Structure 1
Amino acid sequence: MPHGDMSRRGKPDAPARRRLTLADQWRTVPNIVTMTRIVLVVVFLIVLSLAGADGHHSLAARWWGFGLFTLAALSDKLDGYLARRYDMVTDLGKLLDPIADKLLVCGALVVLAAFGELNPGGWIITVLFLLRELGITVMRLFVLDTDGLVIAANQAGKLKTLFECVGLGMLIFPMWSIVTRGGAFERAYYWLTYAVILVALVLCLYSGAVYVLQVLRARRMADHDGGPDRSHDGGRNGGRDAHDAGGRRRRV
């Protein structure tokens, strides 16, 4: 009986937890994990840059860079899981998580393109990735702020993230240090890596277009069902499902 009373009394408290002050949001475990990931990504980019093209300045730094990239990529789901598991989904987390993701992928692309390790068309590929990621991130934040809408990720967006991490991980991995340099295996490995990154680029652009269509459709539905006021109220007061969905699927 006491447990039942606590459960009934606990439900009204949930919105209060979602309206944490900014200072409180900084101290939640999921957001601490996300901020740690951002620091990890910055360290990774510094180490990768210090290693030089193909680890010319330091092969050890290149291996460390690969390890840090792998750790940052694998920890991507941890903060979202903790936020959902312990009901700690916050607006700050929704802002920081995509920043960590985009910083990892786009930062690695810029460094590798500058090293000339992503050819042919390394800078063209990188710029297309950057434009898509920046554009969708800005649109996501704009739609959340103006309409209170959280758009679920589409399947292409999830596959895009997988191919990005696998392709960049393969490119960062110093395969040339453990096989014959310039040999048939190394060449085949590089072109396989290049193909994975191209697939990631296609999925990146396609999922971006799908996201734009999802936003337009969601806004039309919101206007038809009562306009932005209902969306704002659902997002801030009664929209646990919408925010939870955003917490589960923050990647497009």
Structure 2
Amino acid sequence: MQTRDEHKTSLWDGWNSPPNLVTYSRIVLVLIFLWADIAAGPWGAQNLRLRWAAALLFVVAASTDKLDGWMARKYDQVTELGKLMDPIADKLLILATLVVASAFGEVFWWVTILFLIRELGITVMRFFVIDSGGKVIAASRAGKYKTLTECVGLGMLLTPMWSLASGDEVPTWVNVYHGVTQAIIYIALALCLYSGGEYLINTFGGRRSASSAGGDQSA
């Protein structure tokens, strides 16, 4: 008869699988992106070419998120480490971008702080779930929409479209572009908070239900 420990899956199983290697590469790419973004300065004022490069690197880093997930599902290489590291790579990209943007005055600090509280809180909770013997809860549909809108909004923010305008006056289309960008970021924030609450309910609500069920069986 197999013991309970024999049924447990180690967090490090499949650590060197191709999907996980892609995730590690994304983290390295994030670091390169951050260097370019910071060196470019606020709105790319110090180096416009680096701002364009940072925007491109951001898009590549965000797009490859789908690559490792697709590989994991297609080749049946979904691992506990991958389910943990994939959202961490996403959060590193998103939160680092927001912190730099707020430091540059491109995004309000209160927006970034709310993102930080939710994302870091959920990440700590994921570790708590693993440490207590549970499995990592995969991202919900709302969480996936949140990630998508974050990437779209911040990608638009990083892209220096205003540099394409000519003349001294700011064209209307630039103001519209900036307004749409900010609106998408606020939508991402709303989804961020909603999916965070959803994760809390699924984590602790599920545990309470399991405990109640266990109590009924023992009675």
Report how far residue 136 of structure 1 moved. 0.8
What percentage of aligned pairs have identical amino acids?
A: 54
Q: Cα offset for 1:19?
A: 4.8
Which of 154, 164, 174 pairs up with 1:168? 154
Q: Deviations over 1:142-167 (max 9, x none)?
A: 12331414434333212111110110
Cα deviation 1:191-233 (Å, max 9, x = unaligned): 1111110111111111111111111221123223448xxxxxx
2:122 aligned residue (120, 125, 136): 136
Aligned to 2:177: 189
Cα deviation digits, residues 70-100 of structure 1 (max 9, x gap): 0011110211222222232223223321221
- The DSSP-based 3-state class of the residue aligned with 2:170 is coil
Runs of 4 or more consecutive aligned structure 1 residues displaced over 6 Å after TM superposition? none
Provide the residue aligned with 1:105 in structure 2.
94
| One-letter identity of the residue aligned with 1:83 | A
Cα distance in 1 for residues equivalent to 2:10 and 2:201: 30
* Amino acid paired to 1:110: V
Q: 1-side partners of 2:115 and 2:35: how far apart?
A: 21
Which residue identity is paired with 1:131?
Answer: I
C-alpha distance in 2 between matches for 1:29 and 1:152: 19
2:23 to 23, 26, 34: 34
2:194 is aligned to 206
TM-score by length of 2: 0.86
Write the letter of the residue equivalent to 2:100: V
The residue that corresponds to 2:75 in the other structure is 86
Structure 1 residue aligned with 2:140: 154
Rounded Cα–Cα distance in structure 1 between residues aligned with 2:69 and 2:159 = 27
Q: Which runs of 5+ in 2 are unaligned?
A: 1-5
Contact persistence 2:84–2:126 (CA under 8 A): no
Does the CA contact (< 8 Å) of 2:26 and 2:64 recur in 1?
A: yes
1:178 to 129, 145, 164: 164
- Conserved? CA contact 2:84–2:136, under 8 Å: no
Distance (Å, rounded) in 2 between the aligned partners of 1:159 and 1:94: 17
Match of 1:250? none
Match of 2:110 in 1: 124
1:172/1:164 Cα in 2 relative to 1: closer, same or farther (>3 Å)?
same
Helix, strand or coil at the partner of 1:182: coil
Cα distance in 2, alignment partners of residues 108 and 26 from structure 1: 27
Unaligned segments of structure 1, at least 5 residues: 1-14, 228-252
Aligned-residue RMSD, C-alpha: 2.1
Q: How does the TM-score come out when normalised to structure 1?
A: 0.76
Letter in 1 for 2:194: Y
Q: Deviations over 1:178-201 (max 9, x none)?
A: 124622211111111111101111
For 1:54-74, what per-residue CA distance to the aligned partner results, in whole angstroms no more than 9, with x for missing partners?
Answer: 111111111111110000111
The CA distance in 2 between the partners of 1:152 and 1:47, in whole Å, is 31
Residue 6 of structure 1 aligns with which residue?
Answer: none
Structure 1 residue matching 2:28: 3-state secondary structure: helix
Q: Distance in 2 between matches of 1:144 and 1:202?
A: 27
Higher relative contact order structure (alpha carbons within 8 Å, sequence separation ≥ 6) = 1
CA shift, 1:173, in A, is 0.6
Q: Check conservation: 2:83, 2:136, Cα contact below 8 A.
A: no
Choose which of 179, 200, 205 in structure 2 pairs with 1:217: 205
- The yes-or-no answer on 1:45 pairing with 2:34 is yes
